Amino acid sequence: MSSRIFTSFGNNFPKEKLTESLIIKSIEIKEMLSDKPGLARSYGSLTRMYCEKEPTSTKALESCNNWLTLNKELNDVFGIIMSKNYMGKIYFKLHKLKNSNKNNLDKSKNFYAENIESLKNNVDDGSKIQIFTSYADLMEIAKYEKDEKLYSYYSEELFGLIKNFGKIENIFFKNIFEKAFISPFKKNFTPKNKIKEILG
């Protein structure tokens, strides 16, 4: 019971100083109990906390890798997709660091590409929205690389997917998609009124 409380605290207060030690304590308890679903939740909380506070740290990468590994062992499709999104974010941030190498950028793109590939399977709506954010993150990478052609491709793909999906109520995801559709290029790929129409 205490391990769940520690993890819940981490989910709700990722910026608190106490959070890291509580989640680690939760992980220790769940390891003793061989509670893999609980461990996956705790590593997910730890990853989100590190991504808030120190996204380019070794701790962020290690915790996310543990989270992804557990999700794969549990065959948790939603968890796999979500943790791959975080892996993509971490590697992209590592790439943007001074003296970064292209290998980190390739890894970031690969995690997003794997998520997109999983759209071919029968995934639930929650997983689909996570995959839509993979497209949004790839659009942000295309902006960073000033790759107009790639941005146009992902923009059209994401627009079509959201249009067919139906109205997205969650403000958090709506903000991600609205930001992704803000083009830094001269060409207006997707009219603002069309974006507003599908996002509400």
What is the tens place of the pLDDT at every residue in 130-157?
Answer: 999 999 999 999 999 999 999 999 999 9
Predicted pLDDT of residue 7: 52
pLDDT tens digit sequence for 10-56 = 445 555 567 788 899 999 999 999 999 999 999 999 999 999 999 99
How do the domains of the chain map onto residue ranges? 1-75, 81-200
Supply 5's token pair: 């409380």
Predicted pLDDT of residue 167: 83
Per-residue pLDDT band for 9 (boundaries 50, 70, 90) equals very low
Burial environment of residue 139 by CB neighbours within 10 A (0 to 12, 13 to 18, 19 or more): buried
For residues 200 and 141, which has the higher predicted lDDT (pLDDT)?
A: 141
Q: How far, in Å, CA of 131 to CA of 184, rounded?
A: 23
Q: Is the dihedral of CA 82, 83, 88, 90 positive or negative?
A: positive
Residue 26 one-letter amino acid: S
Per-residue pLDDT band for 198 (boundaries 50, 70, 90) equals confident
Q: Are 81 and 58 spatial neighbours (Cβ–Cβ below 8 Å)?
A: no
Per-residue pLDDT band for 189 (boundaries 50, 70, 90) equals low
Q: Are 10 and 45 spatial neighbours (Cβ–Cβ below 8 Å)?
A: yes
Q: Select from 188, 195, 94 the least CA-distant residue to 141.
A: 94
Q: How far, in Å, CA of 63 to CA of 85, rounded?
A: 14
The secondary structure of the chain in percent helix, strand, coil, rounded to multiples of 5, reads 80, 0, 20
Burial environment of residue 49 by CB neighbours within 10 A (0 to 12, 13 to 18, 19 or more): buried
Place of tokens 């399977």: 121
How much is the mean pLDDT over the chain? 89
pLDDT tens digit sequence for 31-40 = 999 999 999 9
Predicted pLDDT of residue 70: 98
